[in-house]
Amino acid sequence: MFLFKKIFAALVLPPTGPLLLMFAGLLLWRRRAGRWLLWTGFLSLVLLASPLVSRALLGLVDDTPPLDYAQARAAQAIVILGGGVRHAPEYGGDTVGRLTLERVRYGAWVAKRTGLPVLVSGGSVYGGTPEAEAMRQALEQEFGVPVRWVEARSRNTRQNAERTAEVLLPQGIRRIVLVAHSFDMPRARAEFEAAGFETVLAPTGMPGEWPEELPLALKLIPNMAALQGSYFALYELLADAARRLGI
C-alpha cells in the first residue's frame, strides 16, 4: 500500500499529472475530447507554476501562526520530523535533504531558545541511511544541538507519530513542540494528537509577505519554485484526504 500511494501521487501530482493529460490529448487530438485534455493539461501546468496560484494553494492547506515561545517553554520535548535524505558524494554518503535540513535548522533554533531535549523521527523510505540518523548527525556536528532520542523506523507521518509515542509516552512526555513544514503541519498535528500528544506547533517554510516593489508580472510568470510549492500543497490535500478515509 505504501508503494502504491507513492506511485499514485507521482502520477497525479504536477508535473506528471498535467503532462499525462497533455500526452493523452495528443493521442486523441482528432477528437474533441483530445483537444480538451491537451488544453486542460497545459493550462493546469501553467497555473500551478504561477507564484500567485502556488501561494494561494499553500494558504489553503495551512495558516498556522509562527511558534509561540511562551507555549514552547512549557513543553517537555521537541520532535523534528524528517523530510527526506539525499546521497551526497561531497559529504561521502547520505545526508539530510533540503526539506529535512530546513526542519533541522529550525529545530536547532528552537532548541537553543527553549533548552528542551530533542527527538528526531524518520526511517529509511527507499533504503540507505535513516532520516533520523542523518538528522542527528547534522544537529550534533553542524548545529551543536544534542539529540536525546532517535526514532529511525517510521516511513510516513502516521508512523512518525506512533513510533514517537512508543518512545516518549512511557517517559511521561506528552506535551511536545512539533517541528515540520507549514504545509505539512495540519496532518502532522492530527496524527500526533491521535497518538496521544499535546502539540505546540513550530512550522517552518512559512510563505512570507510579497516584497512591496515586486511587480505583478513576477507573481504571475511561472517558475519552478512555484510549481514545487503547488506540488507540496496538492500532496498534502491528497494525503489528508487519505488520512480521513483511513487509507
pLDDT digits (tens, 9 = 90+) for 132-163: 999 999 999 999 999 999 999 999 999 999 99
- pTM (two decimals): 0.94
What cell numbers appear for 13 in the block?
A: 501530482
In three-state secondary structure terms, 42 is: helix
What's residue 217's pLDDT? 93
Cβ–Cβ under 8 Å, residues 230 and 48: yes
**73-78 average pLDDT score:** 97
Cβ–Cβ under 8 Å, residues 28 and 37: yes
Count Cα neighbours of 62 within 13 Å in the Cβ-side half-sphere: 30
What's residue 139's pLDDT? 98
Cis? peptide before 211, omega within 30° of 0: no
pLDDT digits (tens, 9 = 90+) for 187-245: 999 999 999 999 999 999 998 888 888 999 999 999 999 999 999 999 999 999 989 88
Place of cell 536525546: 148
- The span from the first CA to the last CA of the chain, in angstroms, equals 9
Instruction: Please name the residues in contact with 52: beta carbons below 8 A apart, sequence gap of 6 or more.
Output: 219, 220
Secondary structure letter of residue 174 according to DSSP: -
Instruction: Please name the residues in contact with 38: beta carbons below 8 A apart, sequence gap of 6 or more.
Output: 21, 22, 25, 26, 29
What's residue 88's pLDDT? 94
Q: Residue 166: count other Cβ atoms within 10 Å of its Cβ.
A: 12
Place of cell 507521482: 10
- Residue 246 Cα distances to 95, 187, 196, angstroms: 32, 13, 18
pLDDT digits (tens, 9 = 90+) for 15-44: 999 999 999 999 999 899 999 999 999 999
State the sign of the Cα–Cα–Cα–Cα dihedral 55, 105, 160, 123: positive
What's residue 14's pLDDT? 97
Rounded Cα distance between 64 and 71, Å, is: 14
What's residue 199's pLDDT? 98
What's residue 245's pLDDT? 86
What's residue 222's pLDDT? 97
- Is residue 1 predicted with pLDDT exceeding 80? no
> What burial class does residue 1 get, using C-beta atoms within 10 Å of its C-beta: 0-12 exposed, 13-18 middle, 19+ buried?
exposed
Cβ–Cβ under 8 Å, residues 118 and 111: yes
